[in-house]
Amino acid sequence: MTHPLDSLFSPSSIAIIGASRDPVKIPGLLLNFLRKNEFPGEIYPVNPNYPDIGGLACYPSVAAIGRPIDLAIVIIPARAVLGALRECADAKIPNAVIISSGFGEEGGDGIAMQQAIADFARATGMRISGPNAEGFFNEPKQIAATFSPTVDVKPDAPRLLATTRRIGIVAQSGGIGFAFYNRARALGIALSNVISTGNESDLGAGECLDYLVQDPSTDVILLFVEGIRDTEKFLAAARRAAEAGKPVIVTKVGRSGAGERAAASHTASMAGWTAAYDAVFAKYGFIVSNDLDEAVAIAAVLTTSPLPRGDRVAVVTVSGGAGIWGADAVCAQGLQVPELSEPLQASIRALIPSYGSARNPVDITAQAVHSGGLQKTIDLLDASDEIDIILVVISLSSETRMPFKAAELTPLMGAQNKPVVFYSYTLPSNFARKGLAESGVVVLSGLTHIAVALRQLVQHSRFILSAEPEISPSTPLDLSRHLSGGALSEYDSKRLLRAAGVALPDEILVEEKAGLTAAMAGADFPLVMKIQSRDIAHKSEVGGVRVNIATMEQALAAYDALLANASAHRPSAAIQGVLVAPMASKGVEIIIGTLQDVTFGPMVMVGLGGVITELFKDVVWRPAPVSTADARAMLDGLKAAPLLHGFRGAPKADVGALAELIAQISQLASTARDQIAEIELNPVLVHPVGEGVTIVDALVVLTTTDLQRK
């Protein structure tokens, strides 16, 4: 199956516009690396100053080449780039990689020049990577279209290769992309592609991700993201990756960005700068890593191991202390290190000295390495149904002696019964790395990274891609009379929600104290009373709420107190009145919120609610809309989830009704995305099973106000 980007990332002919004879300058390095990696196609240097470069004919222009060309690599001053692209279009060159800098990253005129490139790509259909890109490296096809020194070929340093499965890399920072490759290569991990996207005037990270998803030589994808520009293409590629079962490890930087937003709701104030990214990553099963070596360790485990059936880890060690440390590390990540059954222990004890331990960690001692007990113990654990993962903790510093025989280890690794991961607590020698690589083993030397990788492997094995929920209802909601004017109060917000079909308790707005008695006729005590003003978003912060009102006298006093508090804290606020409602029966307090993300659009959040919402920030985000099944999964992801399932003898909460409400609110956020910036229901009281939920307080923020998310 072909991909529209095949001719870019797998070209049979390349023109280098701005090629140089100087081997230390970027144009010279690029030409040199293409040739040293033995690019099998044709290379055409283009530079009017040279008749030839390194034995290759050099052309004054691409038009002078007179042959079909798949890819032009442009390394000339920024102001000359657009003219060069026009020449490429005239020569019917379909693809270009612009290495040149001096565009959007510099501001000023560079922004306009980059926009001109984007416009040119749209007008001509030429696919353009960059500008300000570091190029790409297609290792299976031997195409080193980059100046990164990591692709240099050194005959005296042969390639260490432990895996047959390959990783592909897409990075919005070329330096980091090739750093991933550099570190993965040192461990013996095979590579398919490294793609640096540069400023993404045309080709973005989403399309590059899509290319690797369909690439048969790519088994695991590493993604380095600063910000997604081609959002729809990225989301489509993410779903295809999940459907294909191709793991994506993602590092998102810029998490500490001091982005500003006006937080009318708790929802917005609790949205981390990358909350939407993390929600999208979670939806599509991406494996998030915030450390370069950790990401490579995860890639190493994924390229050498099948997904585990569970989370039970056996730690096999030649050092008691190192084994305990290994067990501590995996337990700290929430994995189990169970004691082995007596029959299995008995089988292991027959292989190790009497002073060893067969319980788990399994301390075979150094003596059992020489007797073959290490390999045989691993074989027993590999065949056992008691264990899902084997962590081998060993010293591999020797330059002369191997603890395994390739003839015995290779079949074990090739069988792929369960993950078998190797940790060396001493720095592994090149001798050991090379010897174990021949059996398909990647040796890792970062214990914490290994433990995280194993946790991520277990979590990834449990991921299930949910179907895209249908947008309902089929006919558009008419909320126009609620979606005009300025900010909404709780009363206004609840009127809008009722119009959208959301079930809310009956309440009365009392605009004058004289009307309080009549409004409360026949009311069921106890009551709650709340000040209402479009200028007061958080009523409790101004003393604007009174609860457990049991008599008319208390209600009259509460009315006066609410107005007095509002006047003292917000003297300029326009007061609508006081909202009177029956006190809801007790339940688990939950917050449901939505907001519109600038990149991914509507997002929905659920978390532990009430006045402590912002204190604990126990929340889960997902792109909206979500189905009821998705909503249940969100609830299960909360640390407070046990509160919904009968914690310490309490009745189980009506999770079904809560999930339906979450889905309904997410649908509203999606269908009214152009009018509604934020929705917050806090708290929502979740009553025992069969008794439903009660929305106690609500706030809707319109996009027409100055409170929308920046």
Closest to 198 in 3D by CA, of 36, 27, 74:
74
Give the Cα separation of 160 and 440 in Å (integer).
11
Are 564 and 673 within one domain? no
d(CA 103, CA 85): 15
Quick one: angle between helices 231-244 and 205-214, nearest 10?
Answer: 20
The pLDDT value recorded for residue 259 is 40
| CATH number of the domain to which 665 belongs | 3.30.470.20
pLDDT in tens, 604-661: 999 998 767 777 788 999 999 999 999 999 999 999 999 999 988 889 999 999 999 9
Are 285 and 192 in a shared domain? yes
Number of structural domains in the chain:
4
Among 538, 558, 582, the domain boundary falls at: 582
Say which residues have a Cβ less than 8 Å from residue 599's Cβ, sequence separation at least 6.
Answer: 227, 228, 231, 276, 277
- 494 within a domain of the structure (yes/no): no
Same domain for 191 and 82:
yes
d(CA 203, CA 199): 9
Are residue 181 and residue 260 in the same domain, yes or no? Answer: yes
The count of other CB atoms within 10 Å of the CB of residue 522 is: 5
Q: Give the structural domain span for 15.
A: 6-298
For residue 484, the model assigns a pLDDT of 65
Look up residue 212 and give its amino acid: L
Confirm whether 95 is domain-assigned.
Answer: yes
Structure-block tokens of residue 526:
């106890």
Pick the closest to residue 140 from 67, 72, 212, 203 (CA basis).
212
CB 567 within 8 A of CB 638: no
The reply to whether 399 and 275 lie within a common domain is no
Q: Any long-range contacts for 539-548 (C-beta under 8 Å, 24+ apart)?
A: 539/490, 539/697, 540/611, 541/569, 542/566, 542/568, 542/569, 542/570, 543/568, 543/569, 547/583, 548/583
Count Cβ atoms below 10 Å from residue 344 Cβ, excluding itself.
Answer: 21
d(CA 76, CA 17): 7
Q: What is the DSSP letter of 237?
A: H
> In sequence order, what are the beta bridge partners of 315?
391
Any domain includes 478: no
Residue 563 sits in a domain whose CATH number is: 3.30.1490.20
Give the side-chain half-sphere CA count within 13 A for 147: 22
The single-letter DSSP state of residue 67 is S
Ramachandran angles phi, psi of 281, nearest 5° = -60, -45
Domain assignment present for residue 266? The answer is yes
Q: What is the pLDDT of residue 485?
A: 61
Same domain, 515 and 412: no
Same domain, 76 and 138: yes
The pLDDT value recorded for residue 616 is 77
Q: Show Cβ contacts of residue 256 under 8 Å, excluding neighbours closer than 6 positions.
A: 273
Inside any domain, residue 689: yes
Same domain, 248 and 356: no
How far is Cα 615 from Cα 50, in angstroms, rounded to an integer?
A: 67
Say what the pLDDT of residue 704 is.
66
Indicate whether 543 and 681 sit together in one domain.
no
- Show which of 255, 282, 298 is a domain's final residue: 298
Q: Where are the beta strands (DSSP E) in 469-587?
A: 508-510, 527-533, 545-549, 575-582
Whole-Å CA distances, 44 to 20, 22, 60, 89, 506: 12, 16, 10, 16, 77
Assigned token pair, 314:
């056996």
Q: Do 593 and 565 have their domain in common?
A: no
616 in the same domain as 523: no
In a domain? residue 80: yes
Supply the pLDDT for residue 264.
46
The verdict on 121 and 195 lying in the same domain is yes
CATH of the domain at 396: 3.40.50.261
Yes or no: say if 562 and 596 are a contact pair by the CB < 8 Å rule: no
Nearest Cα neighbor of 681 from 703, 666, 702 is 666
3-state helix, strand, coil in the chain (%, to 5): 35, 20, 40
Domain final position from 582, 603, 635: 582
pLDDT at residue 269 in the model: 47
Measuring CA to CA, how many Å separate 232 from each of 125, 228, 250, 253? Answer: 19, 10, 18, 20
Flag whether 384 is in a domain. yes
Residues of the chain with pLDDT under 70: 257-273, 471-478, 483-486, 611, 704-710
* CATH code where residue 127 lies: 3.40.50.720
| Distance, CA of 40 to CA of 525 (rounded, Å) | 85
Q: How far apart are CA 333 and CA 114, in angstroms?
A: 45
Instruction: Name the residue among 605, 607, 587 with its Cα closest to residue 647.
Output: 587
Residue 468 is assigned to a structural domain of this protein: no
